[in-house]
Amino acid sequence: MSSPQRPGTKRKSLLRVSLLAPASVATCVLVLQAHTAAQDYLIEESTDYTSNGCESDGIGDVNAVTSSLRTALEADSWSGNRFLNPNSWPHDVIEACASSYGIGGTTPNGLDSTFADTRTLVVFAGHGNQGRLTFGFPHNGSNCRVYMEPNMRLGSMAGNDAAYGMWLSSITLKVSALPDGPNWQWLRQQFGFNNSPSIGANEPRDFFNATSSADNSDAWLNQMDGNGREPVVLTHSTTESACWALHDSARLKADVTLTPRPGGPACEAGQPAFYHCYEWIDL
């Protein structure tokens, strides 16, 4: 397969070139880059879970929920990719800096430095479990399950641009297990569920649109409330007060705090100190 063209790649190359330019020029380019580079996304979605060579075959297919989200993102000048089913590779979200993060097969390293960890917003839709994303197809003989603790390091290491994660899958943000998986991601915020949600086709879009006026946490908890769901918003920062301040202010569509979280760990290193804060609906 040929290497895909990412809409964000060219602009980020511009940033690196600009560092060699005179200071005044570089400043202009940096200002431009600070806005445009912050508006990119990667959507990975699995809806086909039948006889594709995964261990979880038989769990059943599921509805598509990110098409209108993608339309809304593009309408708001975001750019990126929406990969589905056989084109949605587990490797896209797996840490690329070392093979120790891999999930088997003939492609030992992850590809997050080319895909997920080069985008501001990373979305996965499909099945899962606590701290886990389950893809519908393997890639080059790999497993289909990606565990957040051993496999994913979004926002840090190789590729460290991801700032937000939206997990449209069951139990991925199980509250009692946040330190075991989700907290290994060096993201500003993660959105997910403590239980198994039914998700309407346009609900992720409606959440995104609500963040034009509401902060992400209120928008997620209110949009994904109801129908027996337990939505979770998880935020990370350096101190507890900074964590709640970010929790109450970050807004995706309004471009509030879309920059990556700074200060993440190096490849195969432990995490620097941080706080996590969260809210969820307990039914």
Partner 1 sequence: MTSRKRHSEADVTHLVRMFSRRFALVLVLSAGCGRASSEADTAAVAAGLQTAALTKAAVHHPALTADEAANRGERLVSVLLGRSLGAEESLGTFRSKVSRAPSADAAVDGLSHVKLHYREGGYLTVTNAEVAHDRDPGTSDIGEAGARARFKEVFASLVDAGLVQGAGYDPQNATMGRVRAGAAPLGQVAVEFTKEYRFYLKQKLGSVEVTEGEIQLGLNRSGLLAMIRVGGPRATPTAEPAQRSPAVSIASLDQRFAREFPNAQLVSSGLKYRIGADRGQGILEPEQAYEYVPHVRLANGEVEVGRKMTVYYSVAAPDAKGIIDPQPDPNATGDAR
Q: How many residues bind partner 1 (CB under 8 A)?
A: 79
Q: Is residue 13 at the binding interface for partner 1, with CB under 8 A as the rule?
A: no
Binding to partner 1 in span 118-137, by CB under 8 A:
127-129, 134
274 near partner 1, judged by CB under 8 A: yes
Which of 17, 25, 34, 201 is in the footprint of partner 1 by CB under 8 A? Answer: 201
Partner residues linked to 232 by β-bridges: 192, 280
Q: What pairs with residue 189 in β-bridges?
A: 164, 235
Angular region, 170: left φ>0, alpha ψ -120 to 50, beta rest = beta
CB atoms within 10 A of CB 146: 25
Q: Is 255 in the site for partner 1 (CB under 8 A)?
A: no
User: Segment 211-250, which members bind partner 1 (CB under 8 A)?
Assistant: 212-215, 218, 221-222, 225-228, 230, 240-241, 243-245, 248
Render the burial of 43-75: b for 16+ CB within 10 Å, e for the rest: bbbbbebeebebebeeeeebebbbbbbbebbee
- Our finding on whether 20 is near partner 1 (CB under 8 A) is no
Query: Quick one: 97 or 132, whose CB is closer to partner 1?
Result: 132
Nearest 5°: phi and psi at 190?
Answer: -130, 145
Q: Least distance to partner 1 from the beta carbon of 164, Å?
A: 18
Say how far apart CA 268 and CA 263 lie, in whole Å. Answer: 15
Q: How far apart, in whole angstroms, are the C-alpha atoms of residue 207 and residue 217? A: 10
Site for partner 1 in 71-100 (CB under 8 A): 81-85, 87-88
Stretch near partner 1 under the rule CB under 8 A, chosen from 10-18, 28-36, 156-164, 198-206: 198-206
188 with 246: CB under 8 angstroms?
A: yes
Residue closer to partner 1 by CB (options 197, 260) is: 197
Contact string (CB under 8 A) for partner 1, positions 146-175, x = contact: ----------------------xxxx---x
Q: Which is nearer to partner 1, 101 or 135 (CB)?
A: 135
Angle at alpha carbon of residue 12, lines to 212 and 78, rounded to 5°? 25
For position 59 contacting partner 1 by CB under 8 A, the verdict is yes
- Among 105, 150, 200, 265, contact with partner 1 (rule: CB under 8 A): 200
d(CA 282, CA 229): 9
**Nearer of residues 149 and 279 to partner 1, judged by Cβ:** 279
Q: List Cα–Cα distances, 123 to 46, 199, 251, 282, in angstroms.
A: 11, 14, 16, 23
Q: Which of 37, 38, 62, 97 binds partner 1 (CB under 8 A)?
A: 62
CB 28 → partner 1: shortest distance, Å? 32
The DSSP letter of residue 1 is: -
67-75 vs 203-210: helix axis angle to the nearest 10? 30
Map the footprint of partner 1 across residues 27-56, applying CB under 8 A: 43, 45, 47-50, 55-56
Smallest distance from the beta carbon of 27 to partner 1, in angstroms?
32
